[in-house]
Chain A
């Protein structure tokens, strides 16, 4: 393990009202690595992902305990503004959700509200770089002022990724980014994730074990709110230590 730890989660508990959704989870997420969270539906992997940029704050009944540190700073410290945190920890959602604005405005929105550009030319550069980074530039460069909602599903999801990387985050969270996409679009997004790990720490929640095996270096298996096993992807899929992990990856539970 030569890579430095980007996010360090210790004894994380999440409650939705009276439901104990996440039980005592410890995870270390490394920089410039793709970490996959796998597990059956309702096991808490998305919930845990949403703790990492405090998206759970928007749900009134959700309560988070334990400590999550980003670059050894506690993100649940009362002094932390979640808005600043989310600029550092970007997120891509399950369903492509571009703003009903032009492609350009979609990508430029984050840089605009964070004041990342001084003038139009700089903003143009940021937009182009983000769209290139999301492997979408060649497809949309001639129609940047057309609505983002007019793109195909795969293009929309890559637009959302471009929107997320435009604010230059350090961590990129992806909540089942390919579940609404066809196999070709999934392949494009997976290739993209592979490229993104050169610059970002990527955390991806996925239902597809093949996808986890294809794109990730580290894999965490969640079951009923517990982190069952966490290790190198190769080891999890070929030589799981826990019998529950083995049952899941061989298709007996889930």
Chain B
């Protein structure tokens, strides 16, 4: 009995002692300290995230911006008639017979005369060694000019030619005299010449539009490679993706969300759509290879096939986003519409869909942005091939001609041996990021525009 009473007394709550509000008690102090600690953890987490973002962006920009600059050499080439047009009748067929080899001596001569005006001599035994300073595409550039302007044969024309990637690298600090010792492509003597030519303004770096607008080039000519053709390929693929996945995705979501009976089959479909969104993209690539190319015999490497594969990949994203935004529309709006005698379809199309539109658009653009940056499936359907510079004639004609895509082009450059391609890859990433930023901006603007109406 005494035990019981003792037990009862200890179980009683402690009486609350009255304390001053001006001095926090230990419990309050502990709570406040915990809150401060939590805030610090949060700040640390956010700072780490920001740090990595800044690091990422600065690396990309630091490495990539050099890709937009290219070294050019200004050369005055005398277009000798006896070399280019022996008959002198400017017959296009005759002009075409002179290959780029025929143009090389003209360029050698032009370089030598350039050195003379600068008070230098050709230090090489062979005149053609001098030409190593220029891109291997230089004779082709002169030839293209002559074929287009046959009437200028005989004149001396000023050309702005791409310097070779070694000279370009020397100006950008990538190539040094030490690194060039074992390089067959360029000698230290070339660099001595370049130093003088740079003083006189003959060799200079400037902005290179061809990087943004041009086509990819062979492995030995990194200086003339550009991402423009791959950009067109990406653009065509995005057209296919948008044109197919938006209507199909929205129609499927509306059916599943508003009309389909809730039973095992629709449950099964629902689960599968969610799972499809998590399927590795390379699986879609091999599916596309099997179905579109091997079974349906669509052309390989074509933006049409790439677009179809990416559509398969984007559909789950769009369906999930659309269903979520349809679900988010208050059921009272549907009831209101049905209550005044609208059919289900009228209720959906007049009231639910407009309210869900901002969410659908956001989901679509996120899906498109994902598709734009996708590389793996494109590898499998052959959209990484080096695209000959027949741009723009045979590329613009369409969805069916072989092409690459921006991320696949970046991948292609990143795996090439020449370090000059390294900066191209980073530069390509800058362009790709610009596209993504623009697409996200469009998503935000569209969402704002639609939301303001309601």
Name A's B-contacting residues (CB within 8 A): 53, 55, 58, 60, 83-84, 86-87, 90-93, 95, 97-100, 109-110, 113-114, 147, 149, 160, 163-164, 166-167
Contacts and interface: CB of A to CB of B under 8 A. Distances in A.
Contacts of B332: 93, 95, 97
Given A97-B330, A147-B454, A113 B346 contact: yes
Interface of B: 261-262, 330, 332-343, 346, 350-351, 355, 454
B339 A114 contact: no
A206 B88 CA distance: 104
A6 to B, nearest CB: 18
Contacts of A95: 332
B341 A55 contact: no
A163 B261 CA distance: 30
Contacts of B335: 55, 58, 91, 93, 97
B359 to A, nearest CB: 14
Contact of A55 (B262, B339, B343, B346): B339
A99 B339 contact: no
A228 to B, nearest CB: 28
A86 B336 contact: no
Nearest to A173: B339
A60 B263 CA distance: 10
A86 B333 contact: no
B340 A109 contact: yes
Nearest to A60: B262
Nearest to B346: A113
A175 to B, nearest CB: 10
Nearest to B342: A113
A60 B261 contact: yes
A97 B342 contact: no
Contacts of A98: 336
B339 A109 contact: no
Given A93-B332, A109-B350, A113-B346, A58 B338 contact: yes
Contacts of B262: 60
Nearest to A85: B341
A87 B341 contact: yes
A99 B337 contact: yes
8 pairs of A and B residues whose beta carbons are closest in the complex: A87-B341, A97-B332, A91-B339, A110-B340, A100-B454, A86-B341, A97-B336, A83-B343
B327 to A, nearest CB: 15
Contact of B339 (A86, A113, A149): A86
A124 to B, nearest CB: 18
Contacts of B333: 97, 99-100
Contacts of B337: 99, 109
Contacts of A109: 337, 340, 342, 350
A113 B341 contact: yes
A84 to B, nearest CB: 7
Contact of A100 (B342, B346, B355): B355
A114 B341 contact: yes
A83 B340 contact: no
A58 B342 CA distance: 13
A11 B338 CA distance: 26
Nearest to B354: A100
A97 B338 CA distance: 12
A87 B341 CA distance: 5
A167 B355 contact: no
Contacts of B338: 55, 58, 86
A163 B341 contact: no
B450 to A, nearest CB: 11
B454 A90 contact: no
Nearest to A106: B336
Contacts of A110: 340-341
A93 B336 contact: yes
Contact of B351 (A55, A90, A91, A99): A99
Contacts of B355: 100
A147 B342 CA distance: 20
A87 B334 CA distance: 15
Name the residue among B261, B337, B340, B351 with the largest chain A CB count within 10 angstroms: B340
Contacts of A58: 334-335, 338
Given A97-B330, A149-B454, 4 more contacts: A55-B335, A109-B337, A147-B454, A166-B340
A100 B339 CA distance: 16
Contact of A90 (B334, B340, B343): B340
B292 to A, nearest CB: 38
A60 B454 CA distance: 30
Contacts of A86: 338-341
Name the residue among A93, A97, A160, A163 with the largest chain B CB count within 10 angstroms: A97
A201 B364 CA distance: 48
Contacts of A87: 340-341
A200 B346 CA distance: 26
A86 to B, nearest CB: 4
A93 B262 CA distance: 25
Contact of A164 (B261, B330, B340): B340
A53 B333 CA distance: 17
B330 to A, nearest CB: 7
B350 A53 contact: no
A172 to B, nearest CB: 10
B131 to A, nearest CB: 71
B341 A83 contact: yes
Contacts of A113: 340-342, 346, 350
Given A60-B262, A97-B330, A100-B355, A83 B336 contact: no
Given A55-B335, A109-B350, A83 B330 contact: no
A99 B346 contact: no
9 contacts: A60-B261, A60-B262, A86-B338, A86-B341, A97-B330, A98-B336, A99-B351, A100-B454, A113-B340
